[in-house]
Amino acid sequence: MLLSRVVRADTADLPLFAADTALHSANNGFVLISAALVLMMTPALALFYAGFVRSRNVLNTMAMSFVMMGIATLVWATVGFSLAFANGGALQAVVGHPFSYALLENLPASWEPLAIPGLTFALFQGMFAIITPALISGALVERISFRFWCLFTPIWLLLVYAPLAHMVWGGRTARQRPGFRGRHRGSHQLRCECLGAGGSHWRP
């Protein structure tokens, strides 16, 4: 029953989640388990990329992925989530207000229409903010220094990832698009990865 509701994602069914406590708890557990699985992708990606480089660059390559679990988490928790999913007022079609959910404050008890806690939603979305720059590192290994990587990724998350996440998932313009609810999460990640990898290779 629950699986069929999740797969269908019918808007007519969504209010039922909020009304049913059991489904509310099941949704929360399902999203938390999914977030943990996405997080496991980052160390797995580090091992995967390490197998493609010379032995002297293995540790640096793995560190480029592992460090994202710290950098991206800090950026996402401070203002990244707010930029992606808060109401942006006059800039709503482009980006959210950076301080509405800053430091994950003022999150709603139930993030509608998913009927899960706001903190759970922020956590799940944060896992993708971690794995996306880690994926970009595959295009940059053996090409940039680790120090530059640690400087580049927070700026990229704020200027590229968060605004694109807002336009695709959090903005009013995106929500009004036909078929919006059926869009795959990977489409946003792919756009961000292309911009990140391509921009880092740009030479004036």
**Which of the four pLDDT bands, split at 50, 70 and 90, describes residue 192?**
low
Output the pTM of the full model: 0.74
Tell me what the mean pLDDT of segment 117-127 comes to: 93
Tell me what the mean pLDDT of segment 34-39 comes to: 94
Rounded CA gap, 58 and 51, in Å? 8
Is the pLDDT assigned to residue 44 strictly greater than 70? yes
Query: Would you tell me the crossing angle of helices 58-66 and 146-156 to the nearest 10 degrees?
Result: 20
pLDDT at 201: 47
Tell me what the mean pLDDT of segment 73-91 comes to: 92
Is the pLDDT assigned to residue 60 strictly greater than 70? yes
Domain 2-200: homologous superfamily in CATH: Ammonium transporter AmtB like domains (1.10.3430.10)
Tell me what the mean pLDDT of segment 96-107 comes to: 91
